[in-house]
Structure 1
Amino acid sequence: MSEKASRLVRGLRNGEFQEQLRRIDPHENAMSRSRARYISALEEFRRLYGDRQVEIYSAPGRTEIGGNHTDHQRGRVLAASVNLDIIAVVSPTEDNRITLKSEGYSPVCVNLAELQPVHGEKGTSAALIRGVVSGLEAAGFQAGGFQAYVTGAVPGGAGLSSSAAFEILTGTVISGLYHDMQIPARILARAGQEAETRYFGKPCGLMDQMACSAGGLIYIDFANEPPEVRRLETDFENFGHALCIVETGGSHAAMTDEYAAIPAEMCRIAGFYHKEVLAQVEPEAFWRDIPALRKQFGDRAVLRAIHWFGETCRVSAQADALEAGDFPEFLRLIRASGNSSFQYLQNVSSRRDPREQPIALALAVSDRILDGRGAARVHGGGFAGTIQAFVPEDLVEEYKKTLDWIFGEGACHVLRIRKYGGMKVI
């Protein structure tokens, strides 16, 4: 049941809603930060819209654990929601419009009577909102209007998929306000993917949205529809390792063409066999036809397909290792994944400026610090952005200090897996 923003502020200041905050992140310091953040967001909502009946929603960022560039070819991935999230303070309206103000950005207003892509709107949050609503309504879930103030702790350049978190947040608000939180996670994910590809203008698979929507550490096999999703009850801290993400600088925004070339080249290989994606191609046929494939499509396309066939199999092996408690084998497979991305997928550096290779540098520094322990690999889309590292607990302080020294204070994020995806908090 919604309550006035002022009432929630008083309750948070008086120590109420402990259980709700603990679901987001049970660590005491994290709960204290969330409380202060929620109070600030509620007060900003009141300033913008008045002291209305409100609810608070949250959607997490995600990290790719395994399966680099496999999802868009209906492969397998390991992904996890993390303890950095985006929150929204919202109040329903009857004007059939979504009016949203994100911290640091101009307000947007989307008329829900107009759900086709709008010329000139690509690359904007309005496009994402419009696309999510369109996707949900196509799946049979009508949306209504609301006013919202949104603030995020998911860094935009950290490879934790702030755009997918925003999409899932939007869908979760609609689910909560108008469908009693009954829209399935896979429907929210599909709506988010539709929004990002068709409305926002960035090609993507389904991994980001599915991880943000489902929550926890999950294995996903996209071979069939709906995808097979299996939760893995694993905590890396139990193996004496921390999960770290390092922002190396640069933005994916200028790399869209390089990012898009990966699925395009993989699809060309699949097209040789009159198939849509590599998951439909027999590996034996691919290896047999390499001379013809390289002649028609070039060596890079062939190498990227080689990465895909190996990587999607590695994901299953990674999941098996974690479920068996064999963490050394899991780390070995993570290193193999990183090597394959570097050598075959070729998404560690950009062709735009060969002098700038921050991901490669971060991996080199990580190898020196880890010295055969833990593991590090390129994370997400690649070309610019982030690496991921599994760091032994006794090296975390040195690792973070060194990577922050090279790439800037706050570049290294020490993360925890969050159990829940998009959710109503209060």
Structure 2
Amino acid sequence: MTGGAVTGFEDAYGYAPEGVWSAPGRVNLIGEYTDVNEGHVLPVALPQRTRVAAAARTDGVLRLRSRDVPGPAGLPLDGLAPGRVTGWAAYPAGVAWALREAGLPVGGADVYVESDVPAGAGLSSSAALEVATALALTELHGAAPCDRPALARLAQRAENAFVGVPCGVMDQTASACCVPGHALHLDTRGPALRQVPFDLAAHGLRLLVVDTRVRHALADGAYAARRAGCEAAARALGVRALRDVPYGELEAALGALADPALRPLVRHVVTEDERVRDVVALLAAGEPRKAGPLLTAGHASLRDDFAVSCPELDLAVAVANGAGALGARMTGAGFGGSALALVEEGGAEAVGAAVTAAFAAAGHRPPRVFAAVASGGARREFPGDGGGEVGVRGEEEPAGPP
């Protein structure tokens, strides 16, 4: 795949890149909508990655091309501002803007992007693009090294302030900071990171991801609405964020809310935070099988209290559990995207086949089912030839369309 990124860059720009940087997508094992409430999450990096082949420019122009989306974009860095770039290019452009806003000496670049992280599947393809771009730009221009959590926060700022998506910091942190064979326990308030052993194969288990290949139109607006509802509930309860509501005091907190529409939001966040802590404890104790019911409980909470599931996700979860999964749930923001199922290794094929057959019977598109193996975070894959000025482009080369 690295060679494909190099070749794609050469085909796009006519010279060799200085390097290739990559970052993974992620699947969130448990902890949905808790990161936007300063709570706990437990993501796992996927083997699927986004690769950014790049070379520095000296003229302050960012040129962006993608294997999957036609048409180049040439953007003067001095003109970057929220709302001025749309489409996929807004993500890498937003990263350049956020790095420069933070005072990092990031200049222009020629960038070529390719990815095998499924887009729109709730597996953080946007965060993978942001983190890979951030790593590429900072290394190309010799910016003072950012620690990985700080790099993730800058990538999140790009998505929040530049792209306009009010996401939490989980996706970018997972893409930047995960290590192979582990899940990342992230307390988003700190942020505090803990690598938790997640070698399912050693326990005879697999984690299946079911990409439903659907995305319902209300997803983005519903995400913002749920976040706003959680913030309103926190204000009504007099706490900084819903993570500050103790699990043992949940019923009292629900009774104190005058607006009944806020109660299910609070119930989900507080119980989901507790589920994350419980799953972390089980993994640390070497008992991943016991986590299955907690995954299923998390799905019920997302479906019934947070109301962000959809028929395709509910079908995937129900059929997986019926076919022998130890537990299953939707993952990501909902209204489409992906579900996951914790399964015995010997039963993985049967679970996948059952879900695929159920989708066909319901008239849905065939899902994409694959096993998730806990993988590593962002890295430089291709070091370049070390040729100093080789590959650096300046004003002598056309900057491309604005």
Secondary structure, in 3 states, of the residue corresponding to 1:63?
Answer: strand
Is residue 57 of structure 2 the alignment partner of residue 101 of structure 1?
Answer: no
Residue in 2 that maps onto 1:317: 278
| Conserved 8 A contact 2:198-2:374 | no
Structure 1 residue 170, shift from structure 2 partner: 0.9
Q: Which residue of 2 aligns with 1:114?
A: 79
CA drift at 1:109: 2.2
Equivalent position amino acid for 1:298 in 2:
P
Residue number in structure 1 paired with 2:118: 155
Residue pair 1:159, 1:380 contacting (<8 A) in 2 also:
yes
Matched, 1:222 2:185: no
**Residue among 349, 354, 358 paired with 2:312:** 358
1:357-395 alpha-carbon deviations (Å, 9 max, x no partner): 11111112112211xx42111111112221111121111
CA distance in 2, matches of 1:181, 1:329: 44
Contact 2:299 2:329 in 1 (8 A): yes
Determine if the alignment matches structure 1 residue 246 to structure 2 residue 210. Answer: yes
Distance 1:237 1:138, change over 3 A: same
- Tell me what 1:415 maps to: 372
Structure 2 residue matching 1:160: 3-state secondary structure: coil
Q: Give the corresponding residue for 1:208.
A: 171
Please point out which of 89, 93, 113 is paired with 1:126.
Answer: 89
The DSSP-based 3-state class of the residue aligned with 2:374 is: coil
Residue number in structure 1 paired with 2:388: none
* Matched residues, number: 373
1:410 deviates by 5.7
* CA 187–47 in structure 1, closer or farther in 2 if over 3 Å, else same: same
- State the alpha-carbon separation in 2 of the partners of residues 400 and 307 from structure 1: 28
User: In structure 2, how many angstroms separate the alpha carbons of the residues matched to 1:222 and 1:67?
Assistant: 11
CA offset digits 1:218-242 (Å, max 9, x no partner): 1011223xx0001113211112111
| Partners of 1:221 and 1:88 in 2: CA distance | 29
Q: Does 1:85 align with 2:46?
A: no
After the TM superposition, which of the residue ranges 178-187 and 281-290 deviates more from structure 2? 281-290
Structure 1 segment 45-64 matched on structure 2, within 5 A: 45-64=9-28
Listed as ranges, the gaps of 5+ residues in structure 2 are 383-402
Aligned to 2:231: 267
Question: Deviation digits for residues 262-292 of structure 1, max 9, x if unmatched?
Answer: 1111111111134442124455665325344
Taking a change above 3 Å as real, the CA distance of residues 289 and 424 of structure 1, as seen in their structure-2 partners, is: closer
TM-score for both structures, normalised by structure 1: 0.82
Structure 1 residue 155 displacement after superposition: 0.5
Letter in 2 for 1:382: G
Correspondence for 2:348: 396
Give the stretch that moved more between structures: 104-113 or 76-85.
Answer: 104-113
| Pair 1:369-2:323 in alignment | yes
Residue type at the aligned position of 1:412:
V
CA change 1:89–1:253 in 2 (3 A) is: farther
- Whole-Å separation in 2 of the counterparts to 1:286 and 1:397: 40
- What code does the residue aligned with 2:307 have? Q
Q: Which residue of 1 aligns with 2:335?
A: 383
Q: Which residue of 2 aligns with 1:71?
A: 35
Give aligned-pair identity as a percent: 28
The residue aligned with 2:391 is: none
The partner residue of 1:193 within 152, 156, 161 is 156
The whole-number CA distance in structure 2 between the counterparts of 1:181 and 1:53 is 21
Structure whose residues are more often helix by fraction: 1
Whole-angstrom CA distance in 2 between matches of 1:241 and 1:155: 24
Q: For residues 408 and 181 of structure 1, what CA distance do their matches in structure 2 show?
A: 47
- Structure 2 counterpart SS, 1:113: helix
Q: How many angstroms apart in 2 are the aligned matches of 1:151 and 1:181?
A: 27
Give the drift of 1:97. Answer: 1.5
Aligned residue identity for 1:316 = R
- Which residue of 2 is the match for residue 14 of structure 1? none
- How many Å separate the matches in 1 of 2:4 and 2:290? 44
Q: Which has the higher contact order (CA 8 A, sep 6+)?
A: 2
Contact 1:212 1:422 (C-alpha < 8 Å) held by counterparts: yes
State the SS of the aligned residue for 1:223.
Answer: coil
Aligned to 2:140: 177
* Structure 1 portions without partners, runs of 5+: 1-36, 350-356
Instruction: Tell me how far apart the structure 2 counterparts of residues 385 and 70 of structure 1 sit (CA, whole Å).
Output: 18
Describe the SS at the equivalent of 2:59. Answer: coil
- Do the aligned partners of residues 369 and 284 (structure 1) sit closer, same or farther apart at CA in structure 2, a change above 3 Å counting? closer
| SS class of match (2:172) | helix
Q: Structure 2 CA distance, aligned partners of 1:292 and 1:199?
A: 37
Q: Which amino acid aligns with 1:102?
A: S
Task: Decide whether aligned partners of structure 1 residues 282 and 332 sit closer, same or farther in structure 2, where only a CA change above 3 A counts.
Answer: closer
Quick one: distance in 2 between partners of 1:272 and 1:328? 38
Distance 1:364 1:323, change over 3 A: same
Relative to structure 1, is the Cα distance of residues 343 and 320 closer, same or farther in structure 2, using a 3 angstrom cutoff?
same
- The residue identity in structure 2 corresponding to 1:115 is L
> 1-side partners of 2:293 and 2:312: how far apart?
23
Distance 1:116 1:276, change over 3 A: farther
Opposite residue 107 of structure 1, the aligned amino acid is P
The residue type equivalent to 1:246 in the other structure is V
The answer to whether residue 264 in structure 2 is matched with residue 298 in structure 1 is no
Per-residue Cα deviation, 1:128-154 (whole angstroms, up to 9, x for no partner): 223212322333322111112111000
Pick from 302, 305, 309 the counterpart of residue 341 of structure 1: 302
